Amino acid sequence: MTLDLVKETLLPSTSHLPDGRPLGVAMIGYSFMGRAHSQAWRTVAAAFDVPEVARRVIVGRDEEAVAEAAERLDWEEHATDWREVITRDDIDIVDICTPGFLHAEIAIAALEAGKHVLCEKPLANDTAEAEAMVDAARTATERGQIAALGFTYRRIPALALARQFVADEKLGTIRQAKAAYLQDWLVDEDAGMSWRLRKETAGSGALGDIGSHAIDQIQHLTGQRTAAVRGRLATLVPQRPGKEGLEDVTVDDAAWATLELDGGAVASVEVSRMATGAKNRLTVELYGTKGALRFDLENPNELWFLDATAPIAEQGYTRVLVTEPEHPYLAAWWPQGHVLGWENAFTNQARDLLIAIRDGDTADAPGFSPDFGDGLALQRVLDAVIASDAADGATVTL
Ligand code: SOE
C-alpha cells in the first residue's frame, strides 16, 4: 500500500466536502463587499484548482435591491431572511458582507447551524461581540468547521511576499514598523450620512474600517502582537446631511496610534478618511537589523526591499515586481509582468478558504488564517485605541 492509500483508508478524513455536489455559498450583504466577494466566488475556480462552488443565494433586506443584485452579480437565487437561508442543507459556507453590527448575530447562528463562515473585517463592533463569536467558533472548529476572517490584504501577493521575507529572516530583528491607511471620501462636508458614520452600526469609523487593516498588517508581517497602545481619534466634520437634515457623526474620521509590540518592536499607525488626494492608500514600512521593506497599495504589484547587509555604498531599495510564478498566488494568474489588481486578493482569499475546507486543519494543512481568535485579538487593540483616546492618550496595556 502506498502511504497515500494508507492515509486514505486508515485515518479519519479531515475534509469537509459534501458528497456529490458543489460547496454551496450563501452571501449576506450585496453592497461594496458583496460585489467584491461575488467576483471572487465567480473567478476562483477559473484561476485555481479548488473544490467546486455554487453561488446559491444572496441575501439582503430590500427584496427589490437584492433581486437586482442576484441578477447582476450572478447568484442562483436571492432571499430576504438570512435565518432561513443559513439552515438550508445545500449551504455549506456563509459569507458575511454586512455592516459590522450584524456580524456577531449572523456568524454565531451560522456556526451553530454547522456552516463554515467567512466574515468581513473587523470581526465585530466591539470586544464583547468578538468574544461571543470566538466562543461559537471554538465549538464549531472542534466539529471541523472553519471560522475565517476576511483580512483580504494578507492575500495581496506583494504583502504575502513581505511576510515570506520576514519569515526567511531577511530583515533580521524588526525594531520598528509604520502603517498608514489614508482615504479622502469624506473631505467633502456635504458627503452624506451612512451606516459607516454611525457608532451603532459601524462600531468605529476610520479606525475599525481601515485602521484594522493597518494594525493587522503590522502584527501579521512582524509576527508580533500588540502589548500596549496609545491612541487619538478625531471627528473632523461632526455633522453631515442625513435623511432628516444634519445628523451627528458618531465615529472618528481619522485616528492615530502607537503600538508597543510583544517582540520588542514599536509601531505607528495613522488612518484617515479626510486625507485629500489619497484615494485608497495603504502604506506599510518595516525596519529590521538586516533589512527594510516598504509597500504602497497604489502600486500593489511592487515590494521594495533594502538589504542592509550589503556594503553601505551599494545599499538602496530594490523594486521587486511581484508577478513571477514563484511569487505567492501568481502561478495561477497571468504570465510575468501581467499585473494584478485589488480584486484579485479576494479571489486568492476564496482559494485559501476552499483549500482549508477541503484539507481540514491538520499539521500539513494549517487551515485558514486569520481566524476569529485573531479577530478578537485585533478588536482588543481597536478598543484599546478608543480607551486611550478617552483617557487623553494614556497608555492602555493589553
Ligand atoms: C475591505 O477589505 C475594505 O476594508 C473595506 O471594508 C473598506 O471600506 C475599504 O475602503 C478597504 O477595503
- Put residue 101 in one of left, alpha, beta given phi > 0 → left and psi -120 to 50 → alpha: alpha
Phi, psi of 195 (to 5 degrees): -60, -25
Question: Quick one: pLDDT at residue 363?
Answer: 59
| Burial class (CB within 10 angstroms; exposed 0-12, middle 13-18, buried 19+) of 349 | buried
State the Rg of the chain over Cα.
21
For residues 366 and 245, the model is more confident at: 245
Which residues, at least 6 apart from 230, have a Cβ–Cβ distance to it below 8 Å? 257, 258, 388, 393, 394, 395, 396
With 90 as the cut, is the pLDDT of residue 92 above it?
A: yes
Q: List, for residues 292-329, the tens digit of each pLDDT value.
A: 999 999 999 999 999 999 999 999 999 999 999 999 99
Contact residues of ligand 1, CB 6 A cut-off: 33, 152, 209-210, 213, 280
Q: Strand 226-234 and strand 53-59: pairing?
A: unpaired
Domain boundaries, the chain: 3-153, 157-299+301-340+371-397
Q: Name the β-bridge partners of 293.
A: 286, 305
Question: Quick one: pLDDT at residue 18?
Answer: 87
Question: What's the 212 CA to ligand 1 centre distance in angstroms?
Answer: 10
Q: List, for residues 381-398, the tens digit of each pLDDT value.
A: 999 999 999 999 999 999
Handedness of CA 243, 245, 250, 256 (dihedral sign): positive
Question: What's the 291 CA to ligand 1 centre distance in angstroms?
Answer: 30
Report which protein residue has its CA nearest ligand 1's atom 8: 209
| Distance between CA atoms of residues 177 and 219, nearest Å | 9
Question: Measuring CA to CA, which residue among 90, 127, 122 is closest to residue 210?
Answer: 122
| Position in ligand 1 atom list of the atom nearest CA 183 | 10
Question: 265 and 197 in contact (C-beta within 8 Å)?
Answer: no
Phi, psi of 206 (to 5 degrees): -55, -35
Question: 323 and 336 in contact (C-beta within 8 Å)?
Answer: yes
pTM score of the predicted model: 0.94
| Distance between CA atoms of residues 241 and 205, nearest Å | 17
| Distance between CA atoms of residues 82 and 107, nearest Å | 11
| Distance between CA atoms of residues 318 and 170, nearest Å | 13
Report which protein residue has its CA nearest ligand 1's atom 6: 209
Question: Quick one: pLDDT at residue 364?
Answer: 59
Query: What's the CATH number for 3-153?
Result: 3.40.50.720
With 50 as the cut, is the pLDDT of residue 3 above it?
A: no
Residue type, 148: A
CATH 3.90.1200.10 for the 157-299+301-340+371-397 domain, yes or no = no
| Distance between CA atoms of residues 354 and 367, nearest Å | 10
| Distance between CA atoms of residues 24 and 7, nearest Å | 27
Q: List, for residues 20-65, the tens digit of each pLDDT value.
A: 899 999 999 999 999 999 999 999 999 999 999 999 999 999 999 9
Question: What's the 153 CA to ligand 1 centre distance in angstroms?
Answer: 9
Residue 10's pLDDT band (cuts 50, 70, 90): very low
Residue 367's pLDDT band (cuts 50, 70, 90): confident
With 80 as the cut, is the pLDDT of residue 362 above it?
A: no
With 70 as the cut, is the pLDDT of residue 226 above it?
A: yes
Question: 15 and 359 in contact (C-beta within 8 Å)?
Answer: yes
| Position in ligand 1 atom list of the atom nearest CA 210 | 4
Mutation pick for ligand 1 pocket among 213, 251, 378 (CB with most ligand atoms within 8 Å)? 213
Q: List, for residues 193-205, the tens digit of each pLDDT value.
A: 999 999 999 999 9
Cell of 91: 449551504
Residue 17's pLDDT band (cuts 50, 70, 90): confident
Question: Quick one: pLDDT at residue 360?
Answer: 80
What is the average per-residue pLDDT within 347-367?
A: 85
